[in-house]
Structure 1
Amino acid sequence: MADKKPRYQLLKRRCLDQGVLFEDPEFPAEDSSLFFSQKPQVSFEWKRPHEIVNNPEFITGGASRTDICQGDLGDCWLLAAVASLTLDQKLLDRVVPPKQNFQENYAGIFHFWFWQYNEWVEVVVDDRLPTFRNRLVYLHSAEQNEFWSALLEKAYAKLNGNYESLKGGNTLEAMEDFTGGLGEMFDLNESSSDMYATIQKALQRRSMVGCSIDISSSAETEARTPSGLIKGHAYSVTGLQEIKYKGKPVRLIRVRNPWGQVEWNGAWSDNSAEWKMIDTSEHRTLNMVSKDDGEFWMAFEDFCKHFGKLEVCNLTPDSLYGDSTRKWNVSVYEGKWQKGSTAGGCRNFPETFWTNPQYKLRLHDADDGKNDSTLMIAILQKNRRKLRKEGVDLLTIGFAIYKAEPGDDHLPEEFFQFHASVARSKSYINVREICQRFQLPPGDYILVPTTFQPHHEADFHGDGFSIMSDTWLMKEKSLSVLQTAFLKCDNDNSGTISSYELRSAIEEAGFQVNNQLIQLLVLRYANDYMEIYFDNFIRCLVRLETSFTLFLVQYITYKTLLNTYEIRILKLPSKNIQHL
């Protein structure tokens, strides 16, 4: 179970006070945590790290991509994302809180954070791990006494129901869960010649990048090619570099196989002749190490020739486009395809298509110097991996966008008989999330997310990103006020404020709160070290404003029901946050 309210410190303190090691009742050391359909051929023994090695460490010498070695579970998509996560210390610390260990105040309990449907949630686990003959069965580190990656995999398995639920997936899924970012997919066979620049910008802007080789049938899954690459297998992109070779520039790309072995054997592979033809300084620049660790360099042209799909998880919608960060308006949708009412299927089913959920979009202004406005749409199926044990799998989903009039909120059946969509998803596909970027004239639109077939049920989450107009930018000024309030209380420039400074920051932002409310806000938004990040500070203020507004509405409603005409206005702060 994932927790919106942190429980780690409370559970750990309880174990320390009682002198016991934590045993997670929500994810027990039993077969139910391992599988829901395919029982392992051998029996596993659950062991704590100190029962496996004499000197267990959470992280040894800093977390790195070499700590990611795949075990007997088909979750290479997850491991490729974990390897990318290690390239950015701040992102890693958000998911894998530091200062966890097996020595000081050890209680057999660890915790991790994942982004789920627009907020960070905590997952707490005990450190009992499945083993066979005293070796970890699933994800493990190259260092036998290092356990952070194995425990991270366990926490992610708990989040999704069990280990078997992690079999097969899309690297973008885990990348988004690690960052709260926005995923985009590129076809290397169709993409333009500037793909090198796209990847370069992605890595420079802390985006996470993965790749894979397409397969034509399930029989090709994890088939090894003559060049040493694995089909239908997730890789992570960890570097990009241009060097001089025989007096000419050569573009190289560094790729990692989460197996921790099996590498490319063509040009620029570990033992290829090309390395003997370049200066030793280039070796140092590329940090070239010739060993079978799953990581290798290859010419960028060969990369585009052999790999078919590139996945990029952007921390902002702007990461790959332009040199400056623009202001974005984000619209969030929560919906459900319900059989018999809102599960109408795609346009192939005109009798029911109009019954699908519909959402109003408004593009205020064109992008600077252009006639159209940028719009990004992302539709995500919720909890499908967790529901696998009930026989539920990913649905084939897509969406369409229709031009609408200002007064249109829900388009009737007749509308769709005479109007075509102005934009739509490139295809219908059975993935957790589909995301696409469009250029459309300013105006009003209706977004219609659908399953391919009618009568298929699922909960979904949607995000719409559009460039902010001057109106939105005026509202954005309130964000700068909040940022100023936050920085004023961030005395050590750490990017966090102490929970003891929260009241001052909230009052600086224009709210007045009492001690009881401060205590509740600290419990909800502070981390285990009683620190509050800026994003949680914003969420705290959004929750405060929403609560104040709701109180005002309820107060007026209550007074109206009593047949009185006394309406006292609860004054909202002048420096409040709007539409964030």
Structure 2
Amino acid sequence: MGGVLCSDMGGTNNQTTIADLKQDFEALRKENLKQGVLFCDPTFPAGPKSLGFNELGPSSIKAFGVEWKRPKDLCSSPQFIIDGATRTDICQGELGDCWLMAAIASLTLDKDILARVIHPEQNFTDNYAGIFHFQLWQYGKWVDVVIDDLLPTRKGQLLFVHSVEKNEFWSPLLEKAYAKVNGSYEALSGGLATEAFVDFTGGISKCYTLSKAPPNLFSIMKKALSRGSLLSSSISPSTANEKEAKTKEHLVTTHAYSITGAEEVHVGESQVELVRLRNPWGHMEWNGAWSDDSKEWDQVLPEEKAKLDHSADDGEFWMAFSDFVQRYSVVEICNLTPDVSSSDEVGQWNLFQFEGSWKVGSTAGGCSNHPATFSLNPQFLIKLEHVDRSDHDGGQNCSVLVGLMQKGGRRERELGHDYNFIGFVVYKRKGRTDVHLGPDDLRRLSPVARSSFVNTREVCERFQLPLGEYVIIPSTYEPNHVGSFLLRVFSEK
């Protein structure tokens, strides 16, 4: 085997912070059809609490005049999907969830993944009872999320995401399901697209800072897209308090974009690397080189131009990869298999998932900067027994990808809480019969690998480690910060 996660050394298993409501879609629909009424979800009611708690709270200006209406109240012939679910079906509304919109747009690029999430056979005619359901990955398991189809509107228009086709409703219903698992619509304001990527796929993410990008990043992106990975990008603000701002080239800062394509075109004897991005607003496009109908397309072979060049005010555009790297700040890639970003071969991987928690007075020890309490943190033992197939130099190394994900951060925003700064440290374990590393052990040992500490939902790092046994210690940065987490370890087998 490539890796065996043997034990949780001192951690306390904790139930997922998102309540498993165990709502049976078919049973609920059958009951509502029998009674001749439309479903109203008591667990996510069409009212102020589901809308928000601060900027969208009951007495807020943004919540003024909001009415919850069903699609049948908004148009004469509502459809779940019209001519296939596509990235142009997503137009952001009055909610700051561009990161989620970018993720949904990317999701449409892979019809198989999309179908698992949205159940495309749903409709407003056959056995319609005002109830829909979606499948989302939540902290290690797939959950069927049931909703009613009452949507927030103002003056007869959807308040949040909507399709270009006014009678198409799969995207606002998916947004509602995502709001439900996170506690409210307002809880979706602000975030990273990779968070939704992971919830749509169960994959694991990697973030590239473009100022430190590897020289083969374009190849990494192109390969990732070809294998169904989901990609996004954004432009960091120039100041700490900067909100979304339009540049003279019609790009938007602090705003998530889907990356929907990576292609090479011939210009004379040379090739130009291009990337295609989409603004989830559904408009506002890059106006520089290789934008819609720009003069650069006149230099391209007609068949290549016909394949790629497209002129429409739909928020999607091409730009040269060299311009992209100069203007954007990060690329986020959610890989459906953890080896997409570094190997030409599709490896076979073991996945191990463990739950744990940090509790004051017992397991909330903080990071290694706090040696007196660091050993209190949960500890996990892994055993690497298989050499990485891509190691052609005769080494004895194994590829390991570790993801540490904290739970429930968005649901706790109403309480004034946010994500902790989290990270992990890896130690080599040598010749011990007991498994828990105490304070003296940790003072003596030096880590063989570590992650950075970030206040996002998940931190992921990839390592090449010699065969053997290792202890992974996940922690918050400061002691006595509480929370529960999921630790995922991928190792090649």
- Shorter-chain TM range is over 0.9
Q: Please list every run of 5 or more consecutive structure 1 residues that lacks an aligned counterpart in the other structure.
A: 469-580
Following the alignment from structure 2 to structure 1, what is the Cα–Cα distance between the partners of residues 21 and 153? 31
1:451 counterpart (472, 476, 479): 476
Q: Residue by residue, what CA displacement relative to the aligned partner does 1:308-367 show, whole Å, maximum 9, x if unpaired?
A: 111111111122232332222222221101111111111111111111111111111322
| Pairwise CA distance, 1:216 | 4.5
How large is the Cα RMSD of the aligned pairs?
Answer: 1.4
Aligned to 1:418: 444
| Pairwise CA distance, 1:270 | 1.2
Whether 2:327 is the aligned partner of 1:302: answer no
2:356 counterpart (313, 332, 335): 335
Following the alignment from structure 1 to structure 2, what is the Cα–Cα distance between the partners of residues 2 and 108? 23
Aligned pairs for 1:153-302 within 5 A = 153-286=175-308, 288-302=309-323
| Pairwise CA distance, 1:3 | 4.7
Aligned to 2:96: 74
Question: Aligned letter for 2:167?
Answer: N
Following the alignment from structure 1 to structure 2, what is the Cα–Cα distance between the partners of residues 216 and 433? 25
Aligned to 1:11: 28
Compared with structure 1, are the counterparts of its residues 217 and 345 closer, same or farther at alpha carbon in structure 2 (3 Å cutoff)? farther
Compared with structure 1, are the counterparts of its residues 180 and 352 closer, same or farther at alpha carbon in structure 2 (3 Å cutoff)? same
Instruction: Describe the SS at the equivalent of 2:211.
Output: coil
Aligned pairs for 1:549-564 within 5 A = none
1:350 counterpart (343, 347, 371): 371
Following the alignment from structure 2 to structure 1, what is the Cα–Cα distance between the partners of residues 386 and 135? 37
- Answer with 1 or 2: which has the greater Rg: 1
1:393 counterpart (414, 418, 428): 418
Which structure has more helix as a fraction of its residues? Answer: 1
Whether 2:113 is the aligned partner of 1:88: answer no
Question: Aligned letter for 1:80?
Answer: A
Moved more, 329-338 or 84-93: 329-338
Instruction: Describe the SS at the equivalent of 2:135.
Output: strand
Question: Aligned letter for 1:157?
Answer: A
- CA contact under 8 A between 1:33 and 1:158: conserved in structure 2? yes
Question: Aligned letter for 1:364?
Answer: E
- CA contact under 8 A between 2:231 and 2:331: conserved in structure 1? yes
* Higher relative contact order, chain-length normalized (CA < 8 Å, sep 6+): 2
2:48 counterpart (24, 27, 31): 31
Instruction: Describe the SS at the equivalent of 2:341.
Output: coil
Aligned to 1:149: 171
- CA contact under 8 A between 1:359 and 1:448: conserved in structure 2? yes
Question: Aligned letter for 2:45?
Answer: P
Moved more, 218-227 or 190-199: 218-227
Aligned to 1:462: 487
Q: Residue by residue, what CA displacement relative to the aligned partner does 1:487-508 show, whole Å, maximum 9, x if unpaired?
A: xxxxxxxxxxxxxxxxxxxxxx
- CA contact under 8 A between 1:69 and 1:140: conserved in structure 2? yes
Following the alignment from structure 2 to structure 1, what is the Cα–Cα distance between the partners of residues 220 and 444? 39
Aligned to 2:82: 60
Following the alignment from structure 1 to structure 2, what is the Cα–Cα distance between the partners of residues 227 and 181? 34
Aligned to 2:461: 436
Which structure has more strand as a fraction of its residues? Answer: 2
Aligned to 1:364: 385
Question: Aligned letter for 2:438?
Answer: P
Question: Aligned letter for 1:219?
Answer: N
Aligned to 2:332: 311
| Pairwise CA distance, 1:218 | 3.7
Q: Report % sequence identity.
A: 49
Question: Aligned letter for 1:183?
Answer: S
Q: Residue by residue, what CA displacement relative to the aligned partner does 1:535-571 show, whole Å, maximum 9, x if unpaired?
A: xxxxxxxxxxxxxxxxxxxxxxxxxxxxxxxxxxxxx
| Pairwise CA distance, 1:225 | 1.6
Dislocated runs of 4+, deviation >4 Å: 1-6
Following the alignment from structure 1 to structure 2, what is the Cα–Cα distance between the partners of residues 268 and 262? 15
| Pairwise CA distance, 1:60 | 0.6
Aligned to 2:66: 44
